Amino acid sequence: MTLVLHDHPLSSNAQKARLMLDIVGAEYTLREVPFATERPDWHLAVNPLGGIPALSDGGFQLAESNTILRYLADREGRDDLYPRDPQARAAIDWVLDLWALVVRPACFTYEAASYGIVLGRGMYAKEAAPAADVQALFDKAVPKLNQAMQVLDAGGPWARQGRMTIADIAATPVLHRLLHAPVDTAQTPRLRAWAEACVEIPEWQALIPICGVPRR
């Protein structure tokens, strides 16, 4: 059964779903959801909130990018990406929740300034802010980012398990944006080491041409 991903190439949440599909080698087709207009009925029928991405698997439909990553790992039997052992799995879930609830919101201020993001309209919907303003917003986020990074494993770049998991896949598109933003990542060494490993994932390297970064 071919999967259908409701996608927009500049949506970081869609990018992580697409990265996951490529890593597990699933067959899928893309259906592009327009960013700037009201979301079409065919998309709202899957995700009433309108957020991108959403996934159809035959008659089964779901949204929320982290949910999609968990589902695909289980569907494809990829215990290496999302372990079955309760404690190993919970450690990955911790990073996924930390990412969605703490790190991503902390990154969003400088990211929106750097890439002209307007909620509901996406990247490049407004002019990028001057580099000094982006750096000032990053400076404010640094303490929270460094606190959050203490949850990741020490001694290696990956979030947990000493190897790539869905915790890393979830973070990759925004970590790529971080590395191309005009900010001093020396202030967040663990975050930078994580980002540098994630962007080297071969399937991500293949997606870079569509991800909209860099463009400043």
Ligand X SMILES: N[C@@H](CCC(=O)N[C@@H](CS)C(=O)NCC(=O)O)C(=O)O
Q: In whole angstroms, how close is the CB of 120 to ligand X at the nearest point?
A: 4
Q: What angle do CA 76, 82, 87 make, to 5 degrees?
A: 145
Q: In whole angstroms, how close is the CB of 191 to ligand X at the nearest point?
A: 20
Position 112, amino acid: A
Nearer to ligand X, 54 or 137 (CB): 54
Q: How far apart are CA 56 and CA 111, in angstroms?
A: 30
Return the residue nearest ligand X (CB atom).
51
Q: How far apart are CA 115 and CA 138, in angstroms?
A: 13
Tell me how far CA of residue 114 lies from CA of 44, 130, 186, 212, in angstroms.
Answer: 30, 8, 18, 12
Q: Is 3 in the site for ligand X (CB under 6 A)?
A: no
Nearer to ligand X, 12 or 185 (CB): 12
Q: Which two tokens stand for residue 161?
A: 């398990």
Q: Is 130 in the site for ligand X (CB under 6 A)?
A: no
Using CB under 6 A as the binding criterion, the count of chain residues that bind ligand X stands at 10
Give the neighbor-by-neighbor strand order of the sheet with 54-57: 28-32, 3-7, 54-57, 60-63
Instruction: Choose, by CB under 6 A, the member of 6, 13, 159, 171 that binds ligand X.
Output: 13
Nearer to ligand X, 113 or 135 (CB): 113
Q: In whole angstroms, how close is the CB of 164 to ligand X at the nearest point?
A: 19
Q: Is 120 in the site for ligand X (CB under 6 A)?
A: yes
Nearer to ligand X, 5 or 157 (CB): 5
Q: How many CA atoms lie within 13 A of 84 on its CB side?
A: 5
Residues 6+ apart with CB under 8 A from 101: none
Longest CA–CA span in the chain (Å) reads 49
**Residue list 62-101, contact with ligand X (CB under 6 A):** 64-65
**Residue list 156-215, contact with ligand X (CB under 6 A):** none
Nearer to ligand X, 53 or 83 (CB): 53
**Residue list 19-58, contact with ligand X (CB under 6 A):** 50-53
Nearer to ligand X, 65 or 165 (CB): 65
Name the CA dihedral angle for 53, 80, 207, 199, rounded to a multiple of 10 degrees: 110
Which residues contribute to the site for ligand X (CB under 6 A)? Answer: 11-13, 50-53, 64-65, 120
